[in-house]
Structure 1
Amino acid sequence: MKGTLLLLALLVTGELGFQTTEACIPYIEAYTTMVLGNKQLMNALLTKFHPTNGEREAADKVQECFNEAGLKAKILDSIVLHLITDSPECKQYYTQDVKNKIDAFLSKVIGK
């Protein structure tokens, strides 16, 4: 599952012509809303990307997979995401602006 999501994110960012660092924040936001399991929250976030009905249905299915997998799988997937985004290989591509956005987003999520 986590490999599938990562591959999907990389394919989408490649097809849209984005640098992966530019897609980092939106990917983490979308991933977080899917893992939380709240359909309304996920749809609110997806709205800013102007998704088609098919894309919304696909996101719903991914969220259902996360919900069916349970808390343990969600935690393990989140650890993998953290390890990838916090790796030295990824960090070398982050600009200071991206680092600030990640810090601000994590502060909102964690509540610091």
Structure 2
Amino acid sequence: MNGPLLVLALLVTRELTFETPEACPAFYGVLTTVTLALPPPMLNETLDLVEATNAEKVALEKIQDCFAEKGLVNRLNHLRITVIYSLPALTYS
């Protein structure tokens, strides 16, 4: 219980902040690339923008493979639902 209280205290005192406006474009870029199962060079290029480690790249490639197994309609629905339910990140700035 002490861990969450510490994080909350740091957030309240603004010692721990998140760069939300800067993080949103990167998040949606990676999300779109993974969800739509775009070619691996595009995924690597997108992940290079956020300085992802090799382990993170391998993990996201595996997730992307799962999306590739689903049909295009399912991938588009997942992307649409994710964007709709995280609208505050799009409008924050």
| TM-score bucket (shorter structure) | 0.5 to 0.7
Give 1:59's aligned residue: 60
Cα displacement (A) at 1:80: 0.6
C-alpha separation in 2, matches of 1:18 and 1:48 = 18
C-alpha separation in 1, matches of 2:25 and 2:18 = 12
Q: For residues 91-110 of structure 1, what are the structure 2 equivalents within 5 Å?
A: 94-95=92-93
Name the count of aligned residue pairs: 77
Relative CO higher for 1 or 2, CA cutoff 8 Å, sep ≥ 6?
Answer: 2
Cα displacement (A) at 1:47: 0.9
Cα displacement (A) at 1:19: 3.9
Contact 2:24–2:89 (CA under 8 A) maintained in structure 1? no
Cα displacement (A) at 1:56: 0.8
TM-align CA RMSD:
2.4
Q: What is the aligned-residue identity percentage?
A: 30
4+ aligned runs moved over 3 Å, structure 1 = 19-22
Give the gaps of 5 or more residues in structure 2: 1-15
What TM-score do you get using the length of structure 2 for normalisation? 0.68
Give 2:45's aligned residue: 44
Output one character per residue of 1:52-76: Cα deviation in whole Å (capped at 9) or x when no partner: 2111101101111111122121121
Please identify the structure whose Cα radius of gyration is greater.
2
Give 2:33's aligned residue: 33
SS at 2:69 equivalent:
helix
C-alpha separation in 2, matches of 1:92 and 1:39 = 26
Change (3 A) 1:67 1:19: same
Contact 2:34–2:43 (CA under 8 A) maintained in structure 1? yes
Output one character per residue of 1:5-46: Cα deviation in whole Å (capped at 9) or x when no partner: xxxxxxxxxxx9524443211110001111232111010111
